[in-house]
Amino acid sequence: MTENRPDISQMPAQPGVYLMKDKEGGILYVGKAINLRNRVRSYFQPAADHTPRIAVMVSLVEKVDFIVTGNEIEALILENNIIKKEKPRYNVMLRDDKTYPYLKLTTNEKFPRLLVVRKVLKDGAQYFGPYVSGKAVRVARELIHRIFPIRLSNDVLDNSPTRRPCLNYQMKRCLAPCAGKVTPEEYAQMVERIAKLLKGRDSEVLDDLERRMREAAARHEYEQAALIRDQFFAIKELHEKQNIDAAGHMDEDYIACLCEGGAGIVRIMMVRGGRLAGDQNFALKKADDTAELCAAFIQQFYNAAFAVPSEIVVSVMPQDAEVIAEWLSALKGKKVTITLPHRGRKKQLIGMGLENARFNLETFVQGEESLKEALREIRDTVGMSQWPTVMEAVDISNTGGVSAVGSLVSFHNGAASKKDYKRFRITTKGPDDYAMIAEVARRRFKRLKDEGGRFPDLMVIDGGAGQVAAAAEAILPFHPEQAIIGIAKGDDRNNPETDRIFLAGRKEPLPFPAKSAGKFMLQRLRDEAHRFAIQYHRASRGKEAFHHSVDDVAGVGPKRKQLLIKTFGSLKAAKNASVEEIRNVLSISETLARQIHEKL
């Protein structure tokens, strides 16, 4: 390893960020260091004890770039930003492009609603969160609606006339502001209690409800007192269930980390004001060191939108714990501690987290092994020299050659990568399935070659030997080594076990077992392409059904078309109108009015 190590003689002995790069200049790994020279040199020592992942990474390094920073905190921030932007292959990554949900209380409206959103806007509303999962935010919203009769409708009620209340009012699930059954002041009091509950100020809400319940009973308003009583006990029950006896009602996060077989699980339990506010498991595929996993998770998790608690309790001390704690303190604006507990309540809670993480890690690893087995079977049966990491599938949808469209879907490591899906409007005339397949394949691979894109490891066609041959003829001029297969229905079209898989250039079907992980994965890919093509075809057909020749006139958009229909009753009736009438209705030139008249 030392013979091939890159030149690092100019590496300074200062804090900064280093970027490990391969022979093509791609970033393999990004790290930070208080002493760049010593840290980078340690990777290339003969006696270096690397994990398998880092050992492979080091073997690929051809060059190491660096950026000097003023201190370790600046290095940590820069490292976070580069990892988020470049997504290096060998760094532990939390997840890609994840947006977390919030609860939005629309206090910018006269009668607010409670919504689930993923963007925080400066619109005068109140936002609560983010929540660690979609399920957690839905449960919180359903709970609020079960306790408080806040309106569910999306109607605009500001200065709108009253109307008959809906069934929710009869069921006591809404105060019916639309019907004038509640004043804005009374409704605002309820909204204030909801906001306090979402902020974790349960005790204030309970005290307020108890006072109002007694006052209503004293006024002999027993039905109102009963409603408040139900709210009181629902919140009290929730408070008792979620209370985990946090000393001093501190904000704490419990982070338990486990690694096995190159995969990692992080279990986080978020405690706010002494209450369990949310818990979630995060699976990470490139993890073989728990201290590195813990550090990467903390940096990436709190670098998103999540509020930093006063204390983070961990199952293993993260790498560079002191630097991370200092960075978190700067984010929060007050001291944040990272604690490894040895006894007591915190040790018990971390133990619970580890137990849960262990169960989920076993499930995750088993799933990863099944995925590897499926990809291995595809590679070996098709006769590929590399793993089918990227697989794409093409399908065509048309009605007798009319409204023909093509779809292309992409699977990365056995999972759908929807950002890479493509749609094609077919230009081939007539019901020629082979020519349509060839057109989509040709357009796809021509673009990949022209733009220097990555060719898929395996191309899947929905069809038999004929469709595969047509696709191969279109693809091979652009990429002669491309592996191409097709999946054809068998004798029993309703039984996927009889499906046959053909390889380009081979007459006999490939020997996939009737039931196998690899065959099932290819069928999933084919079926997804079919679904995506049909979805696009239906949308295209729907647009064409509402298309009129007047739409082809430059200067006629949806608004002018709608104005013609509104004035004359229909486009069919509008063709009886004169050029002058059309000109006056649309306030347009005589030339444009004449063009519209001719199309009508």
Q: Left if phi > 0, otherwise alpha if psi is -120 to 50, otherwise beta: which for 73? A: alpha
Do the strands 390-399 and 458-462 form a parallel or antiparallel pair, or are they unpaired? parallel
The secondary structure element, H or E, covering residue 434 is: helix 433-451
Provide the Cα torsion 28, 34, 35, 38; round to 10°.
-60
> Can you tell me the distance from the alpha carbon of 90 to that of 320, in angstroms, rounded to the nearest whole number?
19
The answer to whether 275 and 242 are in contact (CB under 8 A) is yes
- In Å, how far are 18, 26, 72 from 65, measured between CA atoms? 6, 11, 17
Reference 134, options 158, 107, 100; nearest CA is: 100
In this structure, what token pair is assigned to residue 254? 């419990």
pLDDT at site 582: 80
Do the strands 390-399 and 337-339 form a parallel or antiparallel pair, or are they unpaired? unpaired
The answer to whether 27 and 6 are in contact (CB under 8 A) is no
CATH for the stretch 247-363: 3.30.420.10
Query: Would you tell me which CATH number, out of the four given (3.40.190.10, 1.10.1510.10, 3.30.420.340, 2.60.40.10), belongs to the domain 390-534?
Result: 3.30.420.340
> How many Cα atoms are found within 13 Å in the side-chain-facing hemisphere of 522?
36
> Can you tell me the distance from the alpha carbon of 288 to that of 337, in angstroms, rounded to the nearest whole number?
25
User: Does the domain at residues 549-599 carry the CATH identifier 3.30.565.10?
Assistant: no
**For the residues 506-525, what does the mean pLDDT come to?**
88
pTM of the shown model: 0.59
Q: What percent of the chain has pLDDT over 90?
A: 30
**DSSP classification of residue 123:** S
> Can you tell me the distance from the alpha carbon of 580 to that of 562, in angstroms, rounded to the nearest whole number?
18
Do the strands 415-416 and 422-425 form a parallel or antiparallel pair, or are they unpaired? unpaired
**For the residues 397-409, what does the mean pLDDT come to?**
76
| Lowest-confidence region among 285-289, 367-371, 393-397, 586-590 | 367-371
**For the residues 27-43, what does the mean pLDDT come to?**
92
| Lowest-confidence region among 57-61, 95-99, 349-353, 407-411 | 95-99
Length of the chain: 600
User: Does the domain at residues 16-86 carry the CATH identifier 3.40.1440.10?
Assistant: yes
276 CB-contact burial (10 Å; exposed 0-12 / middle 13-18 / buried 19+): middle
Whether residue 177 has a cis bond before it, omega within 30° of 0: no
Tens digits of residue pLDDT in 7-22:
777 889 999 999 999 8
Helix H, strand E, coil C: the string for 224-266 is: HHHHHHHHHHHHHHHHHHHECCCHHHCCEEEEEEEEECCEEEE
Domain coordinates in residue numbering, the chain: 16-86, 102-242, 247-363, 390-534, 549-599
Could you check whether 247-363 and 390-534 share the same CATH topology?
A: yes
Tens digits of residue pLDDT in 135-191:
778 878 888 888 888 888 888 777 777 788 888 888 878 888 888 888 889 899 889
Per the model's pLDDT, the better-predicted residue between 244 and 102 turns out to be 102
At 120, is the pLDDT very low, low, confident or very high (cuts 50, 70, 90)? confident
The number of beta carbons lying within 10 Å of the beta carbon of residue 500 is 16
Tens digits of residue pLDDT in 305-350:
677 888 999 999 999 999 999 999 988 888 999 999 998 888 988 9
